[in-house]
Amino acid sequence: MKPASARTLLRLVLLVQLAAALLIAWALQHRGVPVWGAPLAGGGAVVLVRLLINMNNFVMAARAASHTPPEYRLGPAARLRMLAEEFRASMLVTSWHVPRGCARMTVHRDSRRVPVLLVHGYGCNSGFWAHLEPLLDRERISHATIDLEPVAGSIDDYAPLIEARVQELCAATGAARIAIVAHSMGGLAARAWMRAFAGTSGSARVAKLITLGTPHHGTALARFGLGANAVQMRRDSAWLRDLAAAEGPDVRAGIVSLYTHHDNIVAPQDSSVLPGARNVAFGGVGHVALGSNPRVLAEVLRALRELHAERA
């Protein structure tokens, strides 16, 4: 039996949340709450639980946090803005974008820009890139997304899927090399693909790898995750050490690691700092919001503009 996709799983979660909201509304209505008030209270209760889960992620990440440089420390108002942005991003990703997301490819025939493969992170799918894709279209950058399945599979097993997608993107655009933009676990999947296919199309066909909030040295919160990929993302796991040992200076020089000192999933946050790569720090941004924050996306586009297309 084929494992459920992230799209299917999140649709089921949404159905459970809807059932919970309706049950709460029904119970309140039978206790005399007005007809119009009961559904609002039921929906509000579900949203409140989602908010508390989001806040708890920040609390757990703070327990394993790395040192925050003085220039990145936040006051109460900035923390509230960050929480609001992360909560909004999480709600949109898990309740709208991912349940509707499907892998797709957009080719701009007249473009001379390096095409881009977008690789999502743990528990997501192509829908995660709903905010970046329009910006790539505006810049006339051909791009493709990919759905990494099974959701709880080994990161190594995603390498053949990425290889197939890279070949499709190169064939569709005529490009000799592509760039990869990857969020969270997707950055590790991209590095695992380069290790597995270095002899044919790994680092030799990657103009640049841009990672967003990738736990290059693991995260303390991975112990709460399910699946082989969560085990591989635990702090300084044997898998992560082997992955790092397989990379030479030339591979690292082609990686740009964007990360936030206030990541609520990757902790310690400096786990995203990759020696030999270009590391770019942000403050006041949460983990999921890295895929929609204007400052982060502007840096992604800046890095992509540095590339020059090469035809196959």
In sign, the C-alpha dihedral spanning 20, 22, 25, 27 is negative
Long-range contacts of 295-298 (CB under 8 A, 24+ apart): 296/212, 296/258, 297/131, 297/132, 297/135
The whole domain housing 200 covers 1-312
Q: Give the model confidence (pLDDT) of 186-232 as tens digits.
A: 999 999 999 998 755 566 789 999 999 999 999 999 999 999 999 99
Please enumerate in sequence order all residues whose Cβ is within 8 A of that of 164, keeping only pairs 6 or more positions apart, or say none.
Answer: none
Percent of the chain residues topping a pLDDT of 90: 88
Whole-number percent of the chain with pLDDT over 70: 96
Instruction: Provide mean pLDDT across the span 67-85.
Output: 97
Give the span between the Cα atoms of 201 and 125, in whole angstroms.
24
The rounded Cα 305 to chain-centroid distance in angstroms is 21
Q: Give residue 311's pLDDT.
A: 55
The first and second tokens of residue 306, run together, are 């540095």
Q: What total number of domains does the chain contain?
A: 1
Given a cut of 90, whether residue 173 has pLDDT beyond it is yes
Is the pLDDT confidence value at 312 over 80? no
Name the helix (H) or strand (E) containing 259.
strand 255-260
CATH code of the domain covering residue 39: 3.40.50.1820
pLDDT category at 284 given cuts 50, 70, 90 is: very high
**pTM (2 d.p.):** 0.95
